[in-house]
């Protein structure tokens, strides 16, 4: 590289460093003698040389035949004995709030909140998640999320909830009508004061999301659970209109749907992705947990229509973990959550959501382990159902997307990053292999969200969001528990600088 160009490019790097903290790649990178494991490959490519420039993969060749380049601007890494894989994608997260903290609590504890907001993005990276999709967000929330140092690449869907339906029912009136900027108002419904219903038709809502930079649309079919039942649900025609507008704008449509009724509705409306597994089989009574004829029809239709499914099984276990006496002492948590946040979770104030859930479940505040276990047994059928439905889809090559719904509620029991690794264990229990999990967390997710031009494989032209692993991820999910290096847009990150409570 002529000196003048090198100088100019260094100036450009400095400008980028000012403009895009966290999104910048430091230097050119070359990884030598590495084994590439990528979901589109039939077999790994051994002894490869991978070059990265400007945050993208620019060359892949055999290490022996290529001339290794080195200059002051190139970082060379020896990949001998290591595996190079695409970074993982979690296609269902919620990043707006600190897990387990209300906005009021965040305002009252600024030090705890700052430590949490700085750490949480790193915790996703620590477990290999270089891309996240927040399914209900806004440009303002995304800007806040991206302002905290090193952050995975993050995209968002707008949340097109039906007015006063799930999930906007949890917000107080009338603020909910301001917060849920993409809510749908159906014809014949009285709009709230000051809200123009013309801005809340399927077409208007989808256009606004698109203009705001959303890549997908999230819809909901949920009559309620816990202490909330009989919520209004959208009309089929409404969601069909949403799908039509979204597809015209090139955006996939996801639907919160975890029951047979909801997934049938989603299929009839033509949505692309069910944002949960088939947990609740309300219309099929069965003495066994084997897939019943009605459930089989739904799953077969999902396979035939190539609808993506996000099992999100760990969500159900996370409810139990909220009540576990030892959960917050799990040493793995201290790697993903700052110590002052963990301390706050243990305080009476930090236990608020546990109190809410125990009241909903009619548990005493000081429930003993056997009472908790008895209550959790209520979830056993849902766990059983989703495992059977997932296994059925695995056997028929259904489109399973890796997704965690982290956090699924204002709970501390879906810890960032770690929750993804826990979900992988649930998927193994349901019959997925490590290779299938690897593919669903990389290429399948990228395709479903229309990001596969940029991410999902180790190929020339793709963004250099990569993992350098000590074990082959198609053979074991333990590969993600001891990552050697995380590469984010060409920038090499060491796990020791990503873990919580580490001296930086
Ligand atoms: Zn969710």
Mean pLDDT of the chain: 91
Token digits for 193?
A: 């004061």
Residues 166, 268: Cα–Cα separation, whole Å? 20
Gap between the Cα atoms of 407 and 410, Å rounded = 7
| Three state DSSP letters for 373-388 | HHHHHHHHHHHHHHHH
pLDDT lower than 50: segments of the chain = 1-25
Q: How far is CA 433 from CA 211, 424, 425, 474, in A?
A: 39, 10, 10, 8
Q: How far is the CA of 249 from the centre of ligand 1 (A)?
A: 23
Six token digits for residue 180: 């849920």
Close Cβ partners of 4 (under 8 Å, ≥ 6 residues apart): none
486 strand-pairing partners = 467, 493
**Angstrom distance (rounded) from CA 274 to CA 453:** 23
- At 451, list the tokens: 């990001």
For residue 414, the SS3 value is coil
Query: How far is Cα 289 from Cα 304, in angstroms, rounded to an integer?
Result: 23
How many A from CA of 92 to the centre of ligand 1?
6
Instruction: Count CA atoms within 13 Å of residue 45 on its CB side.
Output: 20
93 alpha carbon to ligand 1 midpoint, in Å?
A: 6
CA of 410 to the centre of ligand 1 (A): 11
Instruction: Give residue 232 CA to ligand 1 midpoint distance, Å.
Output: 18
Q: Which residues contact 197 (CB under 8 A, 6 or more apart)?
A: 185, 189, 191
3-state DSSP assignment of residue 463: strand
- Residue 164 buriedness (CB in 10 A; 0-12 / 13-18 / 19+): middle
Q: Look at residue 65 in the predicted model and tell me its pLDDT.
A: 62
**Which residues keep their CB under 5 angstroms from ion ligand 1?**
405
Q: Are strands 83-86 and 28-36 parallel, antiparallel or unpaired?
A: parallel
Residue 275 CA to ligand 1 center (angstroms) comes to 7
Contact 473, 481 (CB under 8 A): no
Terminal CA-to-CA distance of the chain, rounded, Å? 34
Task: Enter the pTM of the model.
Answer: 0.93
- CB atoms under 10 Å from CB of 77, counted, come to 19
| Alpha carbon distance 116, 447 (integer Å) | 31
Q: Output the CA 135–ligand 1 centroid distance in Å.
A: 7
The pLDDT, as a whole number, for residue 325 is 84
Q: How far apart are CA 480 and CA 267, in angstroms?
A: 34
Question: How far apart, in whole angstroms, are the C-alpha atoms of residue 116 and residue 342?
Answer: 10
Ligand 1 mean position, distance from CA 314 (Å):
12
Cα 290 to ligand 1 centroid, rounded to whole Å: 27
Cα–Cα distance, 496 to 75 (Å, whole number): 19
Partners of 61 in beta bridges: 49
| Among 74, 80, 81, 39, residue whose Cα is nearest residue 59 | 74
Centre of ligand 1 from the C-alpha of residue 420, in Å: 14
Query: In whole angstroms, what is the distance from residue 373 CA to residue 97 CA?
Result: 29
Q: What is the pLDDT of residue 15?
A: 34
Query: Could you report the per-residue pLDDT of 136-151, keeping only the tens digit for each?
Result: 999 999 999 999 889 9
Alpha carbons 52 and 54: distance in angstroms, whole number: 7
List the one residue out of 32, 33, 30, 35 whose CA is nearest residue 471: 35
Q: Please count the residues of the chain.
A: 504
Beta strands in 169-259 (DSSP E): 216-220, 253-256
CA of 493 to the centre of ligand 1 (A): 28
pLDDT of residue 158: 98
Q: In a 10 Å sphere around its CB, with 0-12 CB exposed, 13-18 middle and 19+ buried, how is residue 132 labelled?
A: buried
- Matching residue, tokens 């847009």: 489
3 state SS of 371: helix
d(CA 256, ligand 1 centre) in Å: 7
Structural contact between residues 415 and 337, judged by C-beta atoms closer than 8 angstroms: yes
d(CA 235, CA 204): 17
- H runs (alpha helix) in 20-168: 103-108, 110-126, 139-145
The CA 315 to ligand 1 mean position distance, Å, reads 10
- Report residue 235 as tokens: 């009309």
Give the Cα separation of 157 and 15 in Å (integer). Answer: 30
DSSP designation for 442: I
Ligand 1 centroid to 289 CA: how many Å? 25
- Specify whether the backbone of 339 is left (phi greater than 0), alpha (psi in -120 to 50) or beta: alpha
Other residues' Cβ atoms within 10 Å of the Cβ of residue 211: 10
């Amino acid at each position: 590289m002529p000196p003048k160009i090198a100088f100019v490019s260094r100036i450009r790097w400095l400008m980028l460093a000012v403009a895009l903290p966290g999104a910048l790649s430091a230097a050119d990178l070359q990884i030598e003698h590495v084994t590439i494991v990528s979901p589109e490959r039939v077999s790994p490519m051994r002894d490869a040389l991978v070059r990265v420039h400007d945050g993208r993969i620019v060359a892949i060749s055999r290490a022996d035949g290529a001339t290794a380049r080195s200059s002051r601007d190139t970082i060379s890494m020896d990949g001998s004995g290591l595996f190079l894989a695409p970074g993982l994608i979690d296609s269902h997260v919620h990043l707006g709030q600190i897990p387990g903290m209300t906005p009021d609590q965040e305002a009252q504890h600024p030090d705890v909140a700052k430590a949490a907001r700085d750490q949480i993005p790193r915790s996703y990276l620590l477990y290999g998640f270089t891309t996240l999709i927040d399914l209900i967000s806004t440009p303002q929330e995304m800007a806040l999320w991206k302002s905290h140092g090193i952050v995975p690449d993050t995209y968002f869907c707008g949340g097109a909830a039906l007015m006063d339906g799930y999930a906007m029912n949890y917000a107080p009136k009338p603020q909910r009508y301001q917060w849920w900027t993409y809510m749908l108002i159906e014809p014949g419904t009285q709009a709230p004061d000051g809200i123009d219903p013309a801005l809340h038709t399927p077409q208007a809502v989808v256009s606004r999301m698109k203009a705001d930079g959303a890549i997908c649309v999230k819809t909901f079919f949920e009559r309620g659970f816990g202490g909330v039942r009989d919520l209004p649900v959208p009309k089929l025609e409404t969601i069909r209109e949403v799908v039509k507008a979204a597809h015209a704008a090139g955006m996939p449509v996801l639907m919160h749907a975890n029951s047979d009724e909801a997934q049938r509705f989603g299929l009839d409306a033509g949505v692309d992705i069910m944002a949960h597994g088939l947990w609740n089989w309300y219309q099929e009574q069965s003495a066994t947990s084997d897939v019943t004829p009605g459930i089989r029809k739904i799953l077969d239709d999902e396979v035939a229509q190539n609808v993506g499914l996000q099992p999100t099984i760990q969500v159900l276990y996370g409810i139990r973990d909220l009540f576990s006496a030892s959960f917050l002492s799990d040493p793995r948590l201290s790697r993903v959550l700052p110590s002052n946040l963990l301390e706050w979770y243990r305080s009476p104030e930090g236990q608020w959501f546990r109190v809410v859930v125990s009241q909903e479940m009619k548990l005493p505040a000081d429930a003993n382990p056997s009472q908790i276990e008895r209550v959790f047994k209520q979830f056993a059928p849902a766990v059983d159902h989703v495992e059977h439905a997932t296994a059925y889809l695995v056997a028929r090559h259904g489109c399973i997307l890796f997704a965690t719904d982290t956090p699924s509620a204002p709970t501390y029991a879906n810890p960032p990053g770690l929750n993804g690794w826990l979900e992988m264990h649930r998927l193994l229990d349901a019959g997925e292999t490590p290779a299938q999990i690897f593919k669903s967390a990389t290429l399948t997710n990228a395709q479903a969200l229309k990001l596969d031009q940029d991410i999902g494989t180790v190929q020339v032209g793709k963004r250099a969001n990569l993992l350098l692993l000590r074990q082959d991820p198609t053979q074991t999910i333990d590969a993600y528990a001891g990552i050697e290096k995380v590469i984010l847009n060409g920038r090499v990150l060491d796990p020791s600088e990503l873990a919580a409570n580490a001296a930086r």
